Structure 1
Amino acid sequence: MTSRDPAARAAAGKTARERVPLGAHAGFTPAADRFDPAAVLLDQERDRVPELLPIRHERMAVSPFAFYRAAAATMTRDLAAAPSTGLISRLCGDAHLLNFGLYASPERRLVFDLNDFDESYPGPFEWDVKRLVASLALAGRENGFKRRDRAAVVLAAAETYRTAMREFAAMRELDVWYARADVEEVRQRLGARQGKRIDAAGAKARGRDSLQAYQKLTVLADGRRRLAADPPLLVPISDLLPGVARKQLEAQILELLAGYRDSLADDRRRLFDAFEFVDMARKVVGVGSVGTRCWVVLMTGRDERDPLLLQVKEAGPSVLDGRTGAQHVPDWDSEGRRVVSGQRILQAASDIFLGWHTVAGIDGQVRDFYVRQLRDWKGGADVATMDPGGLLAYGRLCGWTLARAHARGGDRIAIAAYLGGSDRFEKALVPFAEAYADRTEADHAAFVAAVSVST
């Protein structure tokens, strides 16, 4: 348990700095006996849906940045081999810049936050920061930025993380947990020019809700609304399996939803009970997640014009599990609960339908799942169109958001004391980000070659 004494917590951070100086984070040199990156990533696929794996490979092969999005497992191994501060926080585990975005809070405010927690796990705070800055360097390369422009982006993001953490360290506990970046705050942080981008993204996000998804993803069949077919990305259960197998899987999902209900608070159970099951379809999501079992469940409330679409997604072990050096890891009873726990700790406000359950028999195994709304004002940045100034402003926003998450999930006073008041931390991360971008480009090439050989 974290000490209540601020002086003792600050001393722990300074002691960590003596053990691992700020300059130790600069650069990246792979071990001489480094693992085979393609083998690590292909090994993740052993229990995934086989017919979906070519989609995963195709998406990962697009570019080094696309590959990086699915390569949290390889970066985790690299970070585990490097010196560690030992300052443990609850981590996102995959804090690249596209795992931040807009969504609706329960109060119907549009907020900016982390939005992917599949790998969430306790670990050294710097692992998330390094995952973020390397993604910024890769995005800058993909956009054709010069090296000095990429360096400025990385420096700004890491500096904002450090200074924000020092601000959070001085706050009262409740103030840290009330802190959030709603769209008005985001506009102020980005400035007038970039504020126009957030206005456009916000307007688009507000249109991405259950009703919009209902209109886009459903069709009228035999007088009733059903989920539409868009194979292989969206396949209704009626098209996926024959009669007996379909009924069996549908019964398993209904069992899952009934158990998931118990993970909700009482008021949200009452809301959930107002909806009834209509249809379900298998959905392909993301890049690294492709091949995991993921379902869209269509439900309706008072009538067909009152839809709710839930995403039911398989949760496997985190790639950080057993590699972070964390001594006191919670004894989660399911991987779904681990994901939900991470989201509730790190996000300023979470989906009202967020929950979890474990069910037996799906593809012959006991499997963990978590559940959330498919769309609830969800939106993301169009990083590919950003100029250096735009990516720099966005990197700052991500850095502040990550610091706020770690201030809730770790010892903000110790981390702030470790980072200190100088710019040595962010200066060290500039060469690290470039070196790890080089490593990612080489790993991407190796993966593409391995997949080409295997097919």
Structure 2
Amino acid sequence: MSTPVARAERGKAARRRVSRSAHAGWVPPVDRADPLGVLERQGRDRLPELLPIRYGRMAASPFAFLRGAAAVMAADLASRPHTGLTVQLCGDAHLLNFGVYASPERALLFDLNDFDETFPGPFEWDVERLAASVAVAGRANGHVEAKVRRATLEAGAAYRAAMRRLAGRGELAVWYERLDADTLLPLVRSARRRGQVASSLTRARRRTSLQALGKLTEVVDGRRRIIHDPPLLEPAGASDTASLRKIFSDYRSTLSEERRLLLDRYRFADAARKVVGIGSVGLRCFVVLLTGRDQGDPLFLQIKEARKSVLEEHLPHGPYVHPGHRVVAGQRQLQAASDIFLGWMSGPQGRAFYWRQLRDMKGSADVAGMSPADLLGYARLCGTALARAHARSGDRIAIAAYLGGADTFEQAVADFALAYADQTTADHAALGAAVAAGVVAAAPEV
């Protein structure tokens, strides 16, 4: 490992290749890929009957479009010069991919919580996607442009401040760094809103497998079964259930010994296909109900198909051949603490999957209801969490040296975010026009 001085020099050298102000603005290249074509290619080999749900959800608003268009933005970011300062990227670091969840010690943490697109790449791509999501969300909430810009600036400023602080800390101190969920409350200005956040945290603490048991299951002929709620939740067919049982042992082998021991105390009870998110709609996703001591001792696991990251075609090869392994390894690198049941394996037709708990005190912010002050505070929190994640996997000293002590980087990123918010609005309008013309089939409000 190089000395701190040498690592800082590497960051300063990156400035000479790509200045901090070079991150400003967004002008689409003349050969920019058609966003709807990118989405159509992504939809190939997904479950075709679910794609209208994906398009319907994306057509709901520019922010919903941004959430589902990680592949579009990845191609756009790849068209710009980058620093070469590599971290394990989240790959989809928009505002709603941060949230609270339970650590193995049952503490409620705030962190990144989606890793389907994780991949090694230039640190600024995550920062720019985060800032763009702040800009799109602020405009959607009707905030004046000056306050939208201020919130995007705060995301970048918090990232820079946290990275510079972590650059001065030791390796173990950085690795053990975490954000307790209670840090959300001081960021909220109004007493009314603070009460809402406190209530949200209380609800998150209740989101466990036991709570899901009452919401997602019913007793049929004396046995606990997952409810039928098509098209979002449908019992797995006989072939899918047989496949899930078969691959369960392969998944089990990716867990540590003590966690395999714990898992072996549960029995397979039922399985169902589940539709999740926006960008993920159409991927094969299942929930499995396991029972432990008795039917009142449940464990819900989610099995989700893993594909190549949207970043892979734009960056050098990563260290993992198996897409499920990529997701799990990326999550373990980036999160302060990860789900004890996180694992991966291959399924029928060689498809890759990863497993995790369906609910483990997970919760996300109501971005749509945020005031300008609350959005600014939340952007600051997300920027801080993103820096902590990047500091674990990349060279925090080089990145801190690149960012420097002035606000040049966040000013440039804010310029980019506002311009890219315009692009997102235009792309969303193109999708809406395609839906209206019948070119794209969309199922609204599903």
Superposition TM-score tier, normalisation by shorter sequence: over 0.9
Which amino acid in 1 is paired with 2:353?
Answer: F
Aligned to 1:273: 264
The one of 50, 53, 56 aligned to 1:55 = 53
The one of 146, 157, 160 aligned to 2:158 = 160
The one of 352, 355, 358 aligned to 2:340 = 352
The one of 277, 281, 288 aligned to 1:286 = 277
Q: What CA distance in whole angstroms lies between the structure 2 residues aligned with 1:185 and 1:61?
A: 34
Aligned to 1:89: 87
The one of 122, 127, 130 aligned to 1:129 = 127
Q: What CA distance in whole angstroms lies between the structure 1 residues aligned with 2:440 and 2:385?
A: 40
RMSD value over aligned CA atoms?
A: 1.3
Aligned to 1:185: 183
The one of 290, 295, 302 aligned to 1:311 = 302
Which amino acid in 2 is paired with 1:280?
Answer: A
1:120-149 C-alpha deviation (Å, 9 max, x unpaired): 000000000000000000000110000001
The one of 264, 267, 272 aligned to 2:255 = 264
Matched, 1:453 2:444: no
Larger deviation: 428-437 or 389-398?
A: 428-437
Aligned to 1:329: 318
TM-score (norm 1): 0.94
Please tell me whether the aligned partners of residues 117 and 343 of structure 1 are also in contact (alpha carbons under 8 angstroms): yes
Q: What CA distance in whole angstroms lies between the structure 1 residues aligned with 2:3 and 2:81?
A: 27
- Quick one: structure 1 residues 263 and 177, their matched pair in 2 at CA, closer, same or farther if it must change by over 3 Å? same
Please tell me whether the aligned partners of residues 187 and 374 of structure 2 are also in contact (alpha carbons under 8 angstroms): no
Q: What CA distance in whole angstroms lies between the structure 2 residues aligned with 1:99 and 1:117?
A: 9
Please tell me whether the aligned partners of residues 262 and 269 of structure 1 are also in contact (alpha carbons under 8 angstroms): yes
Please tell me whether the aligned partners of residues 206 and 377 of structure 1 are also in contact (alpha carbons under 8 angstroms): yes
Please tell me whether the aligned partners of residues 183 and 198 of structure 1 are also in contact (alpha carbons under 8 angstroms): no
Q: What CA distance in whole angstroms lies between the structure 1 residues aligned with 2:144 and 2:181?
A: 30
Q: What CA distance in whole angstroms lies between the structure 1 residues aligned with 2:83 and 2:9?
A: 13
Which amino acid in 1 is paired with 2:263?
Answer: F
The Cα of 1:282 is off from its aligned counterpart by 0.3
Matched, 1:143 2:141: yes
Give unpaired runs (5+ residues) of structure 1. none
The Cα of 1:275 is off from its aligned counterpart by 0.3
Q: SS in structure 2 opposite 1:102?
A: strand
Q: How many residues align?
A: 438
Q: What CA distance in whole angstroms lies between the structure 1 residues aligned with 2:48 and 2:439?
A: 17
The one of 348, 367, 370 aligned to 1:383 = 367
% identity of equivalent residues: 58
The one of 395, 417, 421 aligned to 1:437 = 421
Which amino acid in 2 is paired with 1:453?
Answer: V
The Cα of 1:188 is off from its aligned counterpart by 4.4
Q: SS in structure 1 opposite 2:361?
A: coil
Give unpaired runs (5+ residues) of structure 2. 442-446
Q: What CA distance in whole angstroms lies between the structure 2 residues aligned with 1:165 and 1:292?
A: 35
Aligned to 2:329: 341
Q: What CA distance in whole angstroms lies between the structure 1 residues aligned with 2:27 and 2:338?
A: 38
Q: SS in structure 1 opposite 2:290?
A: strand
Which amino acid in 1 is paired with 2:358?
Answer: L
- Report matched runs for 1:192-211 at 5 Å: 193=191, 195-211=194-210
